[in-house]
Amino acid sequence: MSFLMKHFYNSQKIKKILNQKELEELGKNLYWYDLSINFASSKLGFAKILFWQLLNKISNLSIFFKKKKNSAYSSNYQQQNPKNYGVESIYHKTIEKKLPNFSNPSIWNFKILKSKPWFESDEWSIYLEKNYKVIKEEFLSSGGKITEHPGNKMLAENGEWSSITLVGAKGKDLKYEGMFPKTYSILKNMPVNETFGFVAFSKLTPGTHLKAHTGSSNLRLRYHLGIDVPEPNLVKIRVGNETRPWKEGKCIIFDDSFEHEVHHNGERDRIVFIVDLWHPNLKTTYINTLKLDEFKIFGKI
């Protein structure tokens, strides 16, 4: 139960932070699952989470004794309590499916944030493209072992999705700093969203289909830099209602809180470098607040 006490104390810290006048809008409109962060960080919110934990344990015990599969943990991605890159949530609420052209993040949702599925080239995509050769050469010479992506079992059909995660749900992975020093140096100049985002090399094998799903947060934009894309017309991603290909050395930018899926119809592996940056429509005051450690660890076991 120590994780509950840690969560309680962290919630009280966030409650104090959000009491500032300039953060009033953020506190009211930022939702963690179905709870506003104002409520989730309150004592009443903690009581709700505690009650949910107790009900969940009773439910799991009942399922164990009846030897039945819990429908809340079905193969449907949106119904799972995600162990997101190895981090489990203290509370979970299934989101309702929306039309593809509507933002629908599974965990963190700033409800008044204006966005769209696709974004065009900007200073950061150009910056990544200028450093493409450096990033690719370091990846090829690193000898880094690509391992199964945490979402592979949930989302990948037929083929395999694997990755090397430099920044994940637990923050920066220090074991890779010596392996990718130039890449980390490049990232230092970018507004990387280390609170709600990821940085990773992502590989898809031929025949892979990543089922339609939405990302965990709308507080970021996702940049994909093509590292090894030998068949650009055969490996494509749909975000919202529009499908685009990857191209070697080029960036695509999208908001992954919109429904997206991938089809690999080629015969060779596809590798991209994923970088999540803070959403450009967020106020600087909000970004500086959300960078705090209290938000990085909120709700995580």
Task: DSSP for 115-163, please give it.
Answer: --SEE---HHHHHHHHTHHHHHHHHHHH-PPPEE-TTHHHHEESS-EEE
Provide the token pair at 213: 């799903």
What's the average model confidence in pLDDT over 5-16? Answer: 96
Say what percent of the chain tops pLDDT 70.
90
Backbone conformation region of residue 54, classed left if phi is above 0, alpha if psi is from -120 to 50, else beta:
alpha
Task: Tell me what pLDDT residue 148 has.
Answer: 87
Taking only the tens place, the pLDDT of each residue in 67-126 is 444 433 344 445 554 555 667 899 988 888 899 999 999 999 999 999 999 999 999 999
d(CA 27, CA 148): 36
**Which residues, in sequence order, are CB contacts of 88 under 8 Å at separation 6+?**
81, 82, 300, 301
User: Would you state the CATH architecture of domain 118-278?
Assistant: Sandwich (2.60)
Provide the token pair at 80: 């799972």
Does the pTM surpass 0.85? The reply is: yes
Q: How many CA atoms lie within 13 A of 33 on its CB side?
A: 21
d(CA 252, CA 234): 16
Q: Where along the chain do its domains lie?
A: 2-98+284-296, 118-278
Question: What is the phi/psi pair of residue 16, to 5°?
Answer: -65, -40
What's the average model confidence in pLDDT over 199-217? Answer: 95
Taking only the tens place, the pLDDT of each residue in 16-71 is 999 999 999 999 999 999 999 999 999 999 999 999 999 988 876 554 444 444 43
Please give the residue that has the higher pLDDT: either 261 or 58: 261
What's the average model confidence in pLDDT over 11-16? Answer: 97
d(CA 30, CA 27): 6
Q: For 165-196, b where at least 16 C-beta lie within 10 A, e where not — what string?
A: bbbbbeebbeebeebbeebbebbeebbbbbbb
Question: What is the phi/psi pair of residue 142, to 5°?
Answer: -70, -30
d(CA 56, CA 165): 31
Q: Considering Cα of 254, then 256, then 261, then 264, what sign does the dihedral take?
A: positive
Please name which of 257, 256, 86 lies closest in space to residue 163, comparing C-alpha atoms: 86
